[in-house]
Amino acid sequence: MRKKLWVAVVALSIAAALSACGGKNGKTEESSAAAKSSEASTEKADEKADEKAEAKSTESGKESEGKLVLETGAYPESTQHLKTGEKPESPTVTWAQGASGNVLVSIAKAQGYFDEVGLTVNEIPLDENQIQAVSTGQVDIASNTGTWAPLKNIVAGDDIAIIGGNMLTGCMPIIAKEGAEWKGAESLLGKKFGESVASYATLNGLVKEGHDVTKEITFVDGMADADKIQAILKGELDYATVGTGRMYQVLNTKGIQIVSYCSDITPNYSCCRMIARNSWVQKNPTTVKLLNEALIRAQAYFQKHKQETVDLMAKQLNANKEYVEAYLLNEHYRINPDTLKNTVFDNYRYMMAVHGVDNVDKSVKLEDRIYNELYKEALDEAEKKWGSDDPSFYEEAQQFYTEHNTNQ
């Protein structure tokens, strides 16, 4: 299964290897006929391997008869089995705080959940360059980086891993000028879309249907959300997506219409993953487990105390209550610390299909950089400790984990 997932990478690697060894050195000393025969046999074997890899690569997302093809099949299982204990290896953890905050972290701090598992979490306001901050050790954890960006870093060989989640689905509306027609994601075809091809949530279904979104949609990438709103009003864009933190502005801008939400098109699309340095995770498995225990407990609190959470976040972010309510009370805003391994892999398969992966370290196994087993251990421990407080929550969380992290 793992081999099938990486066949596109293998094809590119083999091609590079053949290019490197294809040229002959004119000064090479004459060796025995046996050596030449061996070299010729090796070249033929390489050529055959190359042909097989190239044939398989069309199944993993390269163009096949003019179409983009998504990899399918079972998800690879991790070979990582880290041992955990009772006490955190690092009792103090630094966390990057995005503009809309991290609701679960805020709840866990306010309710004393981190304290109960022996952790102190210090948040550092940082809305941009969060992955770089994690990589350089400025912070230990970040959770507002989406899914596409961490995946690109991971498969490129960077010291990044996924240890959980933040927003399962963000409150991310698809906007258009008032009165615009919307028949679903197919309405994006042939239009100017204020987004990039990285938008798995809005585009994955179209690729599954056989559309080459790289050719059938005009992407206008790199615009700030505020600029997207103005471009819609001026007719410079037909549609655009904007982030969770822009909900209040969207709702209060005359002439703007919300035609859909990303989660209407792709439910449970894995909005933002919780990331850390892989080397840090290897040294701190118990810390990761205990962090997730506290966050799982915070999720249970959030589901029953949303208005109290609005007040908490408004105070923490020094924001108007109406600003926080605009996204946090929206039904599309769903937070969940689950690793969501299967959906992360679906994101990666989509990335391969649309040629979004340009740098791959073939020694990296993606399944070993998603620590779903540590999350599952945390979920089991949390249920043992606090399951009686809300049995239905933990039952649903266990079912959700099985559905989104295993091949069952």
| Torsion sign, CA atoms 349, 82, 292, 394 | positive
Strands 192-194, 173-177: pairing kind: unpaired
The structure tokens listed for 142 are 């970040």
Among 39-43, 107-111, 125-129, the range with the most confident prediction by mean pLDDT is 107-111
Alpha helices in 178-272 (DSSP H): 200-208, 213-216, 225-234, 247-251, 262-265
Alpha helices in 140-190 (DSSP H): 148-155
Q: What angle do CA 38, 42, 44 make, to 5 degrees?
A: 120
Instruction: Give the C-alpha separation, 291 to 105, whole Å.
Output: 9
**Domain spans of the chain, in order of start:** 92-169+271-405, 173-265
Evaluate if residue 103 carries a pLDDT over 50: yes
pLDDT at 165: 96
pLDDT at 268: 94
In this structure, of 14-18, 214-218, 343-347, the range with the lowest mean pLDDT score is 14-18
The better pLDDT of the pair 318, 283 is held by 283
pLDDT at 99: 76
pLDDT at 24: 33
Average pLDDT, stretch 91-104?
A: 91
The better pLDDT of the pair 43, 303 is held by 303
The better pLDDT of the pair 27, 233 is held by 233
Using CA atoms, how far residue 22 sits from 37, 40, 228, in Å, is 16, 11, 49
Using CA atoms, how far residue 97 sits from 94, 127, 221, in Å, is 10, 7, 25
Evaluate if residue 340 carries a pLDDT over 80: yes
- Are domains 92-169+271-405 and 173-265 of this chain identical in fold? yes
Band of pLDDT at residue 408, cut at 50, 70 and 90: confident
Residue 182, burial from CB neighbour count under 10 angstroms (0-12, 13-18, 19+): middle
Instruction: Give the C-alpha separation, 176 to 186, whole Å.
Output: 14
Evaluate if residue 39 carries a pLDDT over 70: no
The structure tokens listed for 181 are 């027609």
Secondary structure (3-state) at 396: helix
Average pLDDT, stretch 394-405?
A: 98
Evaluate if residue 45 carries a pLDDT over 60: no
Find the radius of gyration of the CA atoms of the chain: 24
The structure tokens listed for 241 are 């997506």
pLDDT at 212: 96
Please say whether the beta carbons of 174 and 241 come within 8 A: yes
Band of pLDDT at residue 66, cut at 50, 70 and 90: low
Domain 92-169+271-405, CATH class in plain words: alpha beta
pLDDT at 67: 65
Instruction: Give the C-alpha separation, 72 to 91, whole Å.
Output: 41
* 33 φ/ψ angles, rounded to the nearest 5 degrees: -60, -30
* 404 φ/ψ angles, rounded to the nearest 5 degrees: -110, 5
pLDDT at 160: 98
Instruction: Give the C-alpha separation, 59 to 75, whole Å.
Output: 15
CB atoms within 10 A of CB 120: 13
Using CA atoms, how far residue 249 sits from 19, 228, 337, in Å, is 53, 12, 27
Residues above pLDDT 90, as percent of the chain: 77
The structure tokens listed for 275 are 């990331």
pTM exceeding the 0.95 threshold for the entire prediction: no
| Average pLDDT score over the chain | 86
What's the pLDDT tens digit per position in 127-162?
889 999 999 999 999 999 999 999 999 999 999 999
Band of pLDDT at residue 37, cut at 50, 70 and 90: very low
Instruction: Give the C-alpha separation, 216 to 212, whole Å.
Output: 6
The better pLDDT of the pair 11, 242 is held by 242
Find the distance separating the first CA and the last CA of the chain, reported in whole Å. Answer: 15
Instruction: Give the C-alpha separation, 217 to 94, whole Å.
Output: 40
Strand partners, 48: none
Please say whether the beta carbons of 124 and 93 come within 8 A: no
Q: Is the CATH code 3.30.1330.40 the one for domain 173-265?
A: no
Instruction: Give the C-alpha separation, 255 to 244, whole Å.
Output: 19
Following DSSP, what letter does each residue of 7-68 receive, concatenated? HHHHHHHHHHHHHHHHSPPTTPPP--HHHHHHHHHHHHHHHHHHHHHHHHHGGGTSEETTEE
The structure tokens listed for 253 are 């801008």
CB atoms within 10 A of CB 171: 26
Band of pLDDT at residue 35, cut at 50, 70 and 90: very low
What's the pLDDT tens digit per position in 346-379?
999 999 999 999 899 999 999 999 999 999 999 9
Average pLDDT, stretch 228-242?
A: 98
pLDDT at 71: 84
DSSP state of 138: S
Evaluate if residue 58 carries a pLDDT over 90: no
